[in-house]
C-alpha cells in the first residue's frame, strides 16, 4: 500500500501497523509522536493502528535547543 510519510510517498505491506512502518523506516528510537491524517495516534496504540492506502503520516521527534 502507498502511504505518505513526512511528505514522501512510500510503499509498505498491506496490513502494516504504524509500529511496523516506524520499524521498517529504522527510526523507532527517534520517533516521539505520530499523527495520521492530522490525528494524533498514542504510542500505546502504534501496534494496533493500521493505516489505510494514501494516508498521510507525520512522524515527529522532539529536538532540544538552547
Reported as a single tens digit per residue, the pLDDT across 9-43 is 999 999 999 999 999 999 999 999 999 999 999 99
Q: What domain count does the chain have?
A: 1
Residue 66 lies in a domain: no
Residue 48 lies in a domain: yes
Q: Summarize the confidence of residues 42-55 as an average pLDDT.
A: 97
CATH number at residue 28: 3.10.20.30
Residue 47 lies in a domain: yes
Residue 18 lies in a domain: yes
The confidence score (pLDDT) of residue 61 equals 86
Q: What is the dihedral of CA 23, 5, 46, 63, to 10 degrees?
A: 80
Q: What single DSSP character describes residue 36?
A: E
pLDDT confidence bin for 66, thresholds 50/70/90: low
**pTM metric for this prediction:** 0.89
Of 49, 35, 31, 40, nearest to 7 by C-alpha is 35
Beta bridge partners of residue 60, listed in sequence order = 33
Give the up-direction half-sphere exposure of residue 6: CA atoms within 13 A in the CB hemisphere: 10
The confidence score (pLDDT) of residue 52 equals 97
Q: Which domain holds residue 27?
A: 2-60
Residue 31 lies in a domain: yes
Amino acid at each position: 500500500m502507498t502511504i505518505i510519510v513526512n511528505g514522501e510517498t512510500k510503499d509498505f505491506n498491506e496490513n502494516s501497523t504504524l509500529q511496523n512502518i516506524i520499524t521498517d523506516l529504522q527510526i523507532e528510537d527517534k520517533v516521539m509522536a505520530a499523527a495520521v491524517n492530522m490525528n494524533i495516534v498514542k504510542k500505546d496504540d502504534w501496534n494496533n493502528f493500521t493505516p489505510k492506502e494514501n494516508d498521510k503520516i507525520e512522524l515527529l521527534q522532539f529536538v532540544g535547543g538552547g
